[in-house]
Amino acid sequence: MNSTVSIIVPVFNAEATLDRCIESLLRQEYRLTEIILVDDGSFDNSPVMCDQYARRHPSISVVHQTNSGLSGARNTGILAATGDYCLFVDSDDYIDEGMAGDLVRVARASDAEVVISNLLYESGFRTQMGTMPWEEDVGFRGIAVLHDLLPHYVSGVDCGGEPHTQIFGSVCRCLFDLRFLRNNNVYFDSGALYGEDREFMIRLLPLCTSVYVTSRCYYHYDRGVDGGTSTQRYRPGLYRAVKYRQSCHARSLDSAGLLDDVALPLTFSWLCDIMGVIDNLSLPGGPGLGRAISEAREALGDGGFLAGLSNMGQRQLDMLGRRRLWLIMHQLTLYLVASRFRAAVRRVALAIRRRLR
């Protein structure tokens, strides 16, 4: 086996976790790897740390650039990479030593353009394995990529509206054929401010002829203390961001001739996104109540949301949460006030929990 792997690491103000991340890459059992650190305009000690690692390890190279966001940094890494395959690793995460070698062996044996593995979610209190739709490792070829794999990336319901396991869209769980990405001009969309990984995968998978999925775990996804709930904050512009992402999904699926087939899963995803937009307005750092109500009404007044609700059956409405939907549609102010109260109580409880550790 002589295929090389380029490991692309976007770095932005990551001095607290960068050592752990890079050391895990240097411990890879598969030796034909290059590590590309893309310093995306960091203003902490990260640029210095990157350069120090590059001086000590010939396999590491560093690209310094002005801040362009996660997607821009990954695209820089794709352009700089010299390997046959690439892995993406976020600078606050780390990987097991067998990841690169195992996934390359799978890719070569199955002639896959993409290999998808499972991942581990880690927080200060627990480690949880991600869920996968299949208990056994499985390969998808040709039409099966579109009909049997892709819907699991679109939403939590299948094309018939039945619940199924959605695959978390992180590209960091995957090995990609670099030549395939470049030949098909598949790069990350810098306009997708949230959910850029899922947007990338939904655009990429219809182009693939072979994809392999393994339930083995290699990637450690760091959710921070308390699973990220203690640091979860309001994301400005989320409504317009998810609307842009929805249009990207629709365009990609339409180009693949799948838009009609996956209309229900795509609509279900949109409804979940809008409900997430409403909840986002109650997070720390969000607008005052009056403005939050106005922004929520803007999102709820979107014709796509109302039309989508009318197309949902009993099963899908149950999955969305009937009581929650009723409150959002008919008692919006009460819902937002209650959500803010719950968020405040949760922050206090987590602070107490941390003190007792």
Q: Note whether 252 and 167 are same-domain residues.
A: no
The answer to whether 99 touches 130, Cβ cutoff 8 Å, is no
Q: Note whether 79 and 170 are same-domain residues.
A: yes
Beta-strand relationship, 85-88 and 5-11: parallel
CATH number at residue 12: 3.90.550.10
Q: Note whether 268 and 194 are same-domain residues.
A: no
- 3-state class (DSSP) for residue 205: helix
The answer to whether 67 touches 41, Cβ cutoff 8 Å, is yes
Does 293 have pLDDT greater than 60? yes
Q: Note whether 270 and 199 are same-domain residues.
A: no
Q: Note whether 224 and 243 are same-domain residues.
A: no
Q: Note whether 171 and 278 are same-domain residues.
A: no
pLDDT of residue 304: 83
- Other beta carbons within 10 angstroms of residue 13's beta carbon come to 17
Dist. CA 336–CA 15, nearest whole Å: 36
Q: Give 105-147 pLDDT, tens digit per residue.
A: 999 999 999 999 999 998 766 788 888 999 899 999 999 999 9
Residue 357's pLDDT band (cuts 50, 70, 90): low
Domain annotation covers residue 233: no
Dist. CA 58–CA 80, nearest whole Å: 15
High-pLDDT (> 70) share of the chain, %: 96
pLDDT of residue 347: 77
The answer to whether 46 touches 75, Cβ cutoff 8 Å, is no
Q: Note whether 179 and 250 are same-domain residues.
A: no
The answer to whether 129 touches 254, Cβ cutoff 8 Å, is no
pLDDT of residue 126: 75
Q: Note whether 140 and 10 are same-domain residues.
A: yes
Residue 85's pLDDT band (cuts 50, 70, 90): very high
Mean pLDDT confidence for 264-293:
93
Chain-wide mean pLDDT for the chain? 92
pLDDT of residue 352: 76
Residue 226's pLDDT band (cuts 50, 70, 90): very low
Report field, pTM of the whole predicted structure over 0.85: yes
Q: Note whether 219 and 305 are same-domain residues.
A: no
Helix (H) or strand (E) holding 23: helix 18-26
Domain annotation covers residue 303: yes
Q: Note whether 265 and 183 are same-domain residues.
A: no
Q: Give 163-202 pLDDT, tens digit per residue.
A: 999 999 899 999 999 999 999 999 999 988 888 999 999 9
DSSP letter (8 states) at residue 155: -
Residue 229's pLDDT band (cuts 50, 70, 90): very low
Number of folded domains in the chain? 2
- What DSSP string runs through 295-351? HHHHHHT-HHHHHHHHT--HHHHHHH-HHHHHHHHH-HHHHHHHHHHHHHHHHHHHH
- Other beta carbons within 10 angstroms of residue 155's beta carbon come to 24
Q: Which two tokens stand for residue 273?
A: 């996104």
Domain annotation covers residue 344: yes
pLDDT of residue 203: 96
- Other beta carbons within 10 angstroms of residue 229's beta carbon come to 15
pLDDT of residue 225: 53
Which of 231-240, 271-280, 348-357 bottoms out in mean pLDDT, i.e. has the lowest? 348-357
Q: Give 30-67 pLDDT, tens digit per residue.
A: 999 999 999 999 999 999 999 999 999 999 999 999 99
Q: Note whether 153 and 281 are same-domain residues.
A: no
The residue range of the domain holding 335 is 238-356
Q: Give 157-169 pLDDT, tens digit per residue.
A: 999 999 999 999 8
Dist. CA 216–CA 248, nearest whole Å: 30
Q: Note whether 28 and 166 are same-domain residues.
A: yes
Domain annotation covers residue 247: yes
Mean pLDDT confidence for 77-100:
97
- What DSSP string runs through 238-297? HHHHHHHHHHHHHHHHHHTT-TTTTHHHHHHHHHHHHHHHHHHTTSTT---HHHHHHHHH
Domain annotation covers residue 121: yes
Dist. CA 266–CA 315, nearest whole Å: 16
pLDDT of residue 227: 44
pLDDT of residue 315: 92
Domain annotation covers residue 83: yes
Domain annotation covers residue 280: yes
Q: How many CA atoms lie within 13 A of 72 on its CB side?
A: 14
